[in-house]
Chains A and B, each alone.
Chain A
Amino acid sequence: MTDTAWIDGALTSARPQAVGALLRYFRDLDTAEEAFQNACLRALKSWPQNGPPRDPAAWLIMVGRNVAIDDIRRGKKQQPLPEEDAISDLDDAEEQLAERLDGSHYRDDILRLLFICCHPDLPATQQIALALRIVSGLTVKQIARAFLVSEAAMEQRITRAKGRVSDADVPFETPGAVERTDRLSAVAAMIYLIFNEGYSASGDTAEIRAPLCEEAIRLARLLLRLFQSEPEIMGLTALLLLQHARAAARFDSDGAVILLDDQDRSKWNKPLIAEGLALIDKAMRHRRSGPYQVQAAIAALHARAERPEDTDWTQIDLLYGALEIMQPSPVVTLNRAVAVSKVRGPEAGLDMIEPLAQRLSNYFHFFGVRGAFLMQLGRNDEARTAFDRAIALANTSAEAAHIRMHLDRLQRDSQPRGVKAGK
Chain B
Amino acid sequence: MTATESNCEGIQVEDTDEIVREFLTESQENLDQLDRDLVALEADPSSAALLQSVFRTIHTIKGTSGFLGFGDLESLTHVGESLLAKMRDGSLTLTQERATALLELVDAVRATLESIAATGAEDPTDRSALVRRISDLQAEVPGVPPSDPSEPVTEAAPAAKPAGEALRVGEILQNNEIVDDTDVAVAVIEQQLGDDRPLGEILIAHGHATPGQVADALAVQESARSNALGGGPNGATPFHVGADASLRVDVNLLDTLMRLVGELVLTRNQIVATATTQAEPAMLRSSQRLNLLVSELQAGVMKTRMQPIDTIWSKLPRVVRDLGVTCGKEVRLVLQGRETELDKTILEAIKDPLTHVVRNAVDHGIESPDVRRAAGKDPEGQLTLRAFHEGGQVNIEIDDDGAGIDPAKIAAKALGSGLVTAEQLRAMGPREVVNLIFEPGFSTAEAVTNVSGRGVGMDVVRTNVEKIGGTVDVVSELGILTSLRIKIPLTLAIIPALTVECAGERYAVPQVSLEELLCVEGDRARAAVEYLSGAPVFRLRGSLLPLVWLDHVLDLTEGPHVDDAVYILVLQADGRRFGLVVDRVLNTEEIVVKPLSRQLKGIGTYAGATILGDGRVALILDVRALARRAHVVSEGDSLSTAQTRDSEAAKPDGPEPLLIVAVGPRRVGVPLSMVTRLEEIPGASIEYAGQRELVQYRGNLLPLTRLSNLLGVPSEVGSERLKVIVYSQGQRSVGLIVDAVLDIANEAPRSRGDVHEYGVSGMAVVQERVTELLDMEQAITAADPQFFIAIAAADAADVSAYDNYAQIGA
User: Do A and B associate with each other?
Assistant: no
Q: Footprint of B on A, CB under 8 Å?
A: none
Q: Footprint of A on B, CB under 8 Å?
A: none
